[in-house]
Amino acid sequence: MILPVVKYGHPMLRQRGKRIEAVTPEIRELADSMLETMRASAGVGLAAQQVGHLVLLMVLDVRESERPSTMQVNGTEADIAAHMPMVLLNPVLTEPAGKEVGFEGCLSFPAISADICRAESITVSAMDLDGQPLNFRCGGLLARVIQHENDHLHGVLFVDRMDSATKVSLGGVLKRLQKETQADLPPARKRGARSLPASRHA
């Protein structure tokens, strides 16, 4: 099922996801719907917050992109396509190495994109949809997407990681988007949204 993607200004995007203790039919259904939603939007990744669920779950697929990715499992180069699409539950990112500035967009920020500095490579530990542990090292686009989605899972948005010049240049567009989103929220949500911090720095 294609789910509506919540946009910047929605308080859900500023909340942390809860740890998933067991892969229930509901979690499987959510992951399936998130994959369908991501594909329908031509996205490379999607976090549960973006479809209104506060759990530590992300989906991604880098196969359609021309930007290079690397992946090693147990120190050996892995066939990335064989691991796509990827569903990560309770991901933990460690051993960040290198810095790389790269272009990013976000399905919660339609028509907005910016250069963001991220670690070039990371180690990922997570659980898969079969409840099995998944451990790998990755670089390039794959590492970027996982870092972007992992931020979402902790209430952090790519706008928090933009340099100040970019943020200033996008200021009007961001404010307009935030206002549009909040105008569509029911009144209770609107009150909650005002009490949330306007930005959070990681």
Among all residues, which ones are annotated catalytic?
Answer: 149
| Site size with Zn ion, rule: CB under 5 A | 1
Least Å distance, CB 72 to Zn ion, is: 25
Rank residues 12 and 187 by Cβ distance to Zn ion and give the closer one.
12
Least Å distance, CB 131 to Zn ion, is: 26
For the beta carbon of residue 169, count every other beta carbon within 10 angstroms: 12
Per DSSP, what are the bridge partners of residue 99? Answer: 119
CA distance 56 to 119: 21
Least Å distance, CB 35 to Zn ion, is: 15
Rank residues 59 and 134 by Cβ distance to Zn ion and give the closer one.
59
Among 12, 34, 44, 106, binds Zn ion (CB under 5 A): 106
Stretch that binds Zn ion, among 17-25, 51-59, 69-77, 105-113 (CB under 5 A): 105-113
Least Å distance, CB 49 to Zn ion, is: 9
Rank residues 106 and 162 by Cβ distance to Zn ion and give the closer one.
106
Stretch that binds Zn ion, among 21-29, 56-64, 86-94, 100-108 (CB under 5 A): 100-108
Rank residues 60 and 106 by Cβ distance to Zn ion and give the closer one.
106
Stretch that binds Zn ion, among 8-16, 55-63, 98-106, 160-168 (CB under 5 A): 98-106
Q: Which residues of this protein are in contact with Zn ion, per CB under 5 A?
A: 106
